[in-house]
Structure 1
């Protein structure tokens, strides 16, 4: 999985506030994005993630772009937790283990 840092985050602030856990590495993607990305790889997904010291993402825009390149025949799950202005926690999950789109509240 690759998470771009060019269009969403101020690079200086992002690198200063992010903590990389497990198999997370900073790289340059030369295939489609042509920018700085963070690759997340590893056998146990709960051990490989990005977290923020400040607790906030510090987005400049109103969107998040995640490019996922999964291995063929291997399941993947991606969770994005968002805290809205009214302090409601929203979780968006993407996976190839679901047979149809679904939404839970």
Structure 2
């Protein structure tokens, strides 16, 4: 058992993570960041939950770049093949659930 106070979590680098669980090949990680990630497509599905902060999520839909602002409590679901990149506005803490070893 473990209690994690996500608002207090920080990392030594952008996108640093605390591994929370690995359940049947699905990982759950808490990330801290203050810098954008990189455009990518995951190996499977991804659930991206903003626990603290604001994130501008850019994604491609039918080849067209779009974006949405994700606030605390918002969830972004990337289906298989969804190209996306997260740009935090200041510091953000994000819970990411995805297949083990995914980008």
TM-score (norm: length of structure 2): 0.39
Point out the structure with max Rg over C-alpha.
1
- Greater fraction strand: 2
TM-score (norm: length of structure 1): 0.39
